[in-house]
Structure 1
């Protein structure tokens, strides 16, 4: 970490308060540079990028983000020492015109069955020949190609060209994990839009409104502020708050019930604005049972956020994390914390009890952004509380990126 990218807490607070326009070109350049450093460190000739979120990270371009997540119709080629080439739909190449990170725009092949049906092997072969030629032209004798996602015809076709395929997701996630200061400033702006959308939703909620209608208020408010789409539909009330991960339904919300939600919104500039809040539907005084749930969730967040600092290891963090009371433990959330940028990113911190499912070690580093998670609800209990806070890890510790307050008098 260079001195220019290191902030004391006062400097970090001043940075977030800076109202100058965001330099999105600088963000794009920095991202592409970080990705190329990862390619060089992993000794690959280039990266072939399909995931639209990774493609946005590498090139700054976007095109029908949700649709292209399940249709392989656009991709990018980023040479470790060479050009960044965007392959886009022939009808929409103009969308990336003028992006300084993109050296060339070409029409994209697709071997997706919906697009080419039984011609997939033929089309994939022609596509792979073009990619192999780019590797030869810009990688020399290096035939190692990093790829972040695959469908079967394209994987087989690239192997038939004699390329050695490497997991590119490793490089993309590592590049994305640490942010530039301009990225963090932009992420803060995106969270400001999310906070305002939550406030607008809250003002519009009334007893008798359905969960879906409330979620619609949130979505309308973020879209009006430059947001893009929700990754989930997690907004429930009363008995549907426990267990968690039920989606918004047509059930009317009742006065005095606990409302819990997770924004999971892709906000302005493509940033993942991820906070969770809970309150009573009518905004009234919580019951003693609701207060106990809320107090446990808030205690978990406060404890875990205080642990975040550069140099603490992932497994050490999970071992020292807040121990939920036993009554809430079976319904615990899926993770203790996760990285946050353009979506849920590396790292993901497991509960110690769940380590067998894939827990891994590593280091929290300066300028990572991490969301601390909490869900509290007893098995068979009437309600649950979901809270989540996004944290910037500065040189001197954690700094919140959301200004939307937690509830007074609930703990």
Structure 2
């Protein structure tokens, strides 16, 4: 493949591979960075387990398993088929219960002390034997808690079918919301995590540059979206959480998924990457530009300018110690004409996926959860601007919170 020749913005070309568009990006990070991040993440979980006084933490969510042990196996499939799980014992080992035949995928991972074969008791794989498989599963989990818990039978669980909760409860296990543990632990990033995330963002920006280069009249929304999949997959990434790329009238109202609609000259192309990339980290970035690289019309310029104002204003607020309520009180006020077409969030956490905290946009803030912006959180600042009869402008940037102010992790250019 030769390098494409119609690139209209040299600022964006730099995000493609320096060797041209024919090779995947290769991470410059050493294994030491990954090993330190693994150790830090498992330490964060164990510290939060101790703070919440649980004897064990049972994880089925593949993102939480990746965070804890850095092991990955059929993540999308296991996200809706609870067939593999991890158990971290507060005063004992970290055990990975792996899908039968896949145990070798965990070889050499430093956080895993023991590998066992998972017991799958969901109906899809167990059928009328589900109840028979449930009992030994519950016995194994409860016996491990008794062995290492010192009388503490409190177990954090991130997600569980009701049959599992009932079976463990019958065996004296007290089930708590493991999401409070995992979300709190994941919220604060180490320098090594940030380095891994920066690389995922670099790969994402190469995919965004590829979308830009192909943003010509007649291309379909799905064809454009495929370029991000392509760049992510060939550079060692995982998956895209959504399909949010639309053009022209499909951009408003927001949340339509990409379709076979062909983009027309001068229409806005707006997208939100939601990309789970290399090392399992998320690049959650949004941009908007015109099809065919035409100058924006007056309405497009006005909406885009408002979106930039919202991003810049709210970005500047991010300081350690600022409460979510204070952020809301000081946040950019969306003009009335744009309110019916607004995005629901002003900001949210991000790590291996979108994470806690979630800060609603000011019209929707009543009833939002409490908390504070903390140093070394990574926060996405969001904007969606549209009005009656217009297209929507979607912008989003990913930011590290530092004592010296917010530090953007993405560099892909705005249009102005």
Matched, 1:40 2:50: yes
Matched, 1:382 2:400: no
Matched, 1:141 2:134: no
Unaligned runs of 5+ in 2: 1-26
Shift of 1:19: 5.9
1:123-142 to structure 2, matched below 5 A, reads 123-142=133-152
User: Within 2, Cα distance between the matches of 1:47 and 1:218?
Assistant: 35
Structure 1 match to 2:293: 283
Kindly indicate whether the alpha-carbon contact (under 8 Å) linking 1:111 and 1:154 is maintained by their aligned counterparts in 2.
Answer: no
CA shift in 2, pair 1:132/1:20, >3 Å: closer
SS of 1:324's equivalent?
coil
Worse-matched range after superposition: 115-124 or 311-320: 115-124
TM-score by length of structure 1 reads 0.93
SS of 2:264's equivalent?
coil
Aligned length: 389
1:79-228 to structure 2, matched below 5 A, reads 79-228=89-238
Kindly indicate whether the alpha-carbon contact (under 8 Å) linking 2:55 and 2:89 is maintained by their aligned counterparts in 1.
Answer: yes
Structure 1 match to 2:72: 62
SS of 1:78's equivalent?
strand
Kindly indicate whether the alpha-carbon contact (under 8 Å) linking 2:303 and 2:385 is maintained by their aligned counterparts in 1.
Answer: yes
Structure 1 match to 2:315: 305
User: Within 2, Cα distance between the matches of 1:351 and 1:208?
Assistant: 35
Kindly indicate whether the alpha-carbon contact (under 8 Å) linking 1:111 and 1:153 is maintained by their aligned counterparts in 2.
Answer: no
User: Within 1, Cα distance between the matches of 2:375 and 2:107?
Assistant: 34
SS of 2:102's equivalent?
helix
Worse-matched range after superposition: 320-329 or 109-118: 109-118
User: Within 2, Cα distance between the matches of 1:127 and 1:71?
Assistant: 16
Q: Which of the residues 372, 375, 380 maps onto 1:371?
A: 380
Structure 2 match to 1:399: 407
Shift of 1:205: 2.5
User: Within 1, Cα distance between the matches of 2:311 and 2:256?
Assistant: 22
Shift of 1:20: 5.1
SS of 1:91's equivalent?
coil
Structure 1 match to 2:370: 361
Shift of 1:352: 3.1
Displaced runs of 4 or more, over 4 A: none
Worse-matched range after superposition: 200-209 or 139-148: 200-209
User: Within 2, Cα distance between the matches of 1:257 and 1:212?
Assistant: 16
SS of 1:372's equivalent?
strand
TM-score by length of structure 2 reads 0.92
User: Within 2, Cα distance between the matches of 1:271 and 1:366?
Assistant: 19
Shift of 1:355: 3.2
User: Within 2, Cα distance between the matches of 1:32 and 1:240?
Assistant: 43
User: Within 2, Cα distance between the matches of 1:323 and 1:381?
Assistant: 21
Unaligned runs of 5+ in 1: 1-17
User: Within 1, Cα distance between the matches of 2:343 and 2:362?
Assistant: 12
Kindly indicate whether the alpha-carbon contact (under 8 Å) linking 2:344 and 2:364 is maintained by their aligned counterparts in 1.
Answer: no
User: Within 1, Cα distance between the matches of 2:357 and 2:165?
Assistant: 27
Shift of 1:228: 1.2
SS of 1:61's equivalent?
coil
Shift of 1:351: 2.1
**Partner deviation per Cα, 1:286-307 (whole Å, 9 max, x = no partner):** 0000001100111000000000
